[in-house]
A and B are shown apart, each in its own frame.
Chain A
């Protein structure tokens, strides 16, 4: 007999798990399925798990800042559940946003003021004190090392930085998803792994359930697509859903590098998360006293849209498969090596290649769909890890409201944040929206 649930969540990553958790808390009988072996093993595992508040839109800042509160109060959020693997730790390093031409930091500052984000403005002298290894010249514009101008000597100095003391990163993103899974299970949620969805079934014009690769069927009137880089494939399985999205998602290949900290500098313990638009990089500490160097997707870099299944299977060749490339290794490490001139850059690339589930405007789609009962939390574009617990709550409330009759497309659901005194118009994340021109069109969101 086919098992029945109130809601099925596809994807047990860091966004899917909290949706299951919140729906379970609201009394829904949920099943979360994932094609991998455990929670957070997909693109969540490749996330840098950075927790920062600077976004190019006020709604983006609000949601991120709300998220801080969850991370700072992790055990409470999990309702003190026990996880045999231990708990993920929030490393509250503080977050530095360098004022540069690479970021619209004035807009960020306005957004911070509007939302009430705690921050201070730092002078160059103060940054130098906090990050003694930094060279604070302006290196703008971001170039590739193949460009002879890459090596031009800088002449100007940066203006300063905005420091947000509550920012940081989560030490183990996979574990954080696992923690939320355990919390969800404690509320009655079920998780099923090694379970690949091949079909979304419908009945009488609404969602009826899913079919797995091995033929197993599960029924539920609600199915939520949280498939990460596979999200567009899952949307295409549900009749009319993909076609009904004005904003589409695709999977984008992205490399993150690990470079050892200069000798004598304890970046792991003394360092900050830093967003450095001037050299197109963001960094955070990683175990082994290394700099984790991500890219802010400068226009001069290639963008490789790939098929997620081929990518994870290691197909497609250099620059398309899941092996770091020498060219991008040098681009990211050398760029950041301008900021930290003593940074040693090994010859062999070391780091992570994973996929962003990227939307057309790098802003996620948290929405219902044209198929009744089918919802989606997709297009996270590499910038939603920090929001995961908030998204979990927001999606659960959105689903609940829609199932109770709200026409979210006509009358967008207003989500009231739990911690900060503000509501957000969930219509902002609509699949039907026009491309948001306020976006940074990068990982910065």
Chain B
């Protein structure tokens, strides 16, 4: 079985995000493997090891620097990588089209994994578009996965502790959530071993991606200011509690 894991090269969540020309970020920061994709990779490797003869292929769309993320994926156990080189950003619609074309060009997917979202764009949709293009079922925020002979069982987590178990036909697309596993990080030996794993580089124009009918484009980025000006909440204990609940409701809008 060929197991494809779509991985994304994203800014380190600890990096300072600086906005240039109102629409882009200064990319002179550390980029690394999207954290949710670590769960996807760990699960893909687990499934591969249970199905002899399978291979895990990490697929990534990005600039040349994204090879680092493919190398990280291979150090975590992917057998080989595919880097689709691009110089520009792509929305989820295009990304799904590109990934689909690259996967099809490479082989026959038995399973496709992604992280449930990327921490940069937070679009939460590429996996569903990919599933639709392939006509594969999709489940996101998966916390448990069982691959049976003809089908897969996936537990998806919802808020309030609700879990739904989905049964899917195979092949299917799995959006890995944090609850799925503890990522298995590579040792230096894993890094050494994977240094020689092959990475196939594809050029975007060669893939002849059909034009999309819809498009999502960032027209403005605005820094989220963090200037805190402390305001006192006073009164009796029960006054304070009431005011906090009020703030959570009306201002923070979280309840």
Interface residues of chain A, those whose CB is within 8 Å of chain B, are 145, 151, 260, 314, 317-318, 321, 323-326, 334, 337-338, 341-349
Known contacts A318-B28, A344-B186, A347-B33: does B12 contact A323 (CB below 8 Å)?
A: yes
Interface contact B30-A344, CB-CB below 8 Å: no
User: Which residues of chain B from 2 to 49 have any CB-CB distance to chain A below 8 Å in the complex?
Assistant: 12-16, 28-33, 35, 38
Cβ-defined partner of A344 (8 Å) among B12, B29, B185: B185
- Chain A residue with the shortest CB-CB distance to B35: A348
The reply to whether B187 and A151 contact each other, CB–CB distance below 8 Å, is: no
Whether B185 lies near A325 (C-beta < 8 A) is: no
**Cβ-closest chain A residue relative to B188:** A337
Contact of B187 among A145, A344, A348, A349 (CB under 8 A): A344
B residues near A343, Cβ cutoff 8 Å: 187-188
Residues on the A chain within 8 Å of B38, using CB: 347
Contacts of A334 in B (CB 8 A): 188, 191
Contact indicator A345/B188 (Cβ below 8 Å): yes
A323 touches B13 (CB 8 A): no
User: What is the bound-complex CA distance between A318 and B32, given in angstroms?
Assistant: 14
Q: 9 tightest A-B contacts by CB?
A: A337-B188, A344-B185, A326-B30, A347-B33, A346-B185, A347-B72, A334-B188, A151-B192, A347-B32
- 16 A–B pairs (Cβ distance < 8 Å), ordered by A: A151-B192, A151-B195, A317-B28, A318-B29, A323-B12, A323-B14, A323-B15, A323-B16, A325-B30, A341-B187, A341-B188, A346-B185, A347-B33, A347-B35, A347-B72, A348-B35
A260 CA to B14 CA, complexed, in Å: 18
Chain B contacts for A348, CB-based, 8 A: 12-14, 32, 35
* Bound CA–CA A332/B195 (angstroms): 18
Q: In the complex, which residues 189-217 of chain B have their Cβ closer than 8 Å to any Cβ of chain A?
A: 189, 191-192, 195
- Which residue from chain B places its CB closest to the CB of A335 in the assembled complex? B188
Bound CA span A318–B192, Å? 26
Complex: chain A residue closest to B72, CB-CB: A347
Residues of A within 8 A of B12 (CB): 323, 326, 348-349
Q: In the assembly, what is the distance between CA of A314 and CA of B16, in Å?
A: 8
Complex Cα distance A145/B183, Å? Answer: 23
Contacts of B35 in A (CB 8 A): 347-348
Residues of B within 8 A of A (CB): 12-16, 28-33, 35, 38, 68, 72, 76, 183-189, 191-192, 195
- The residue in chain B whose Cβ has the minimal distance to the Cβ of A259 is B185
For A353, the closest partner residue in chain B by CB is: B14
Of the candidates A314, A342, A344, A347, the one having the most CB atoms from chain B within 10 angstroms of its own CB is A347
Measured in the bound complex, the distance between the Cα atoms of B35 and A348 in whole Å is: 8
The reply to whether A345 and B16 contact each other, CB–CB distance below 8 Å, is no
A345 to B15 CA separation, bound complex (whole angstroms): 19
Q: Which of B16, B31, B184 has the most CB of A within 10 A?
A: B16
Min CB distance, B17 to chain A, in Å?
11
For the complex, give the distance between the alpha carbons of A309 and B157 in Å.
45
Beyond contacts A323-B29, A334-B191: 12 other A-B pairs, Cβ-Cβ < 8 A, are A145-B191, A151-B195, A318-B30, A323-B14, A324-B14, A324-B30, A346-B185, A347-B32, A347-B35, A347-B72, A348-B32, A348-B35
CA distance A325 to B38 in the complex (A): 19
Q: Is the CB of B16 within 8 A of A344?
A: no
Residues of A within 8 A of B189 (CB): 341
Which of B32, B38, B187: most chain A CB closer than 10 A?
B187
A325 and chain B: residue at smallest CB distance:
B30
| Nearest-CB residue, chain A, relative to B26 | A317
- Give, as a whole number of angstroms, the nearest-CB distance from B117 to chain A: 16
Q: How far is the CB of A351 from chain B (nearest CB, A)?
A: 10
Inter-chain contact B32/A337, CB cutoff 8 Å: no
Count chain A CB atoms within 10 A of each CB in B28, B33, B188, B192 and give the residue with the most: B188
Residues A349 and B30 in contact, CB atoms below 8 Å apart = yes
Residues from chain A with a CB closer than 8 A to the CB of B31 are 326
C-alpha spacing A140/B13, complex, angstroms? 34
Within the assembled complex, what's the spacing in Å between the Cα atoms of A220 and B157?
Answer: 64
Task: Point out the residues of chain B lying under 8 angstroms from A344, CB to CB.
Answer: 184-187
Q: Which B residue sits closest to A260, measured CB to CB?
A: B185
CA distance A1 to B185 in the complex (A): 62
| CA distance in complex: A348, B16 (Å) | 15
List, in ascending order, chain A residues with CB within 8 A of B29's CB.
Answer: 317-318, 323
Residues of chain A within 8 A of B183, CB atoms compared? 346
Contacting pair A337 B28 (CB below 8 A):
no
CB atoms of B185 and A349 under 8 A apart: no
Q: Are B185 and A347 in contact (CB under 8 A)?
A: yes
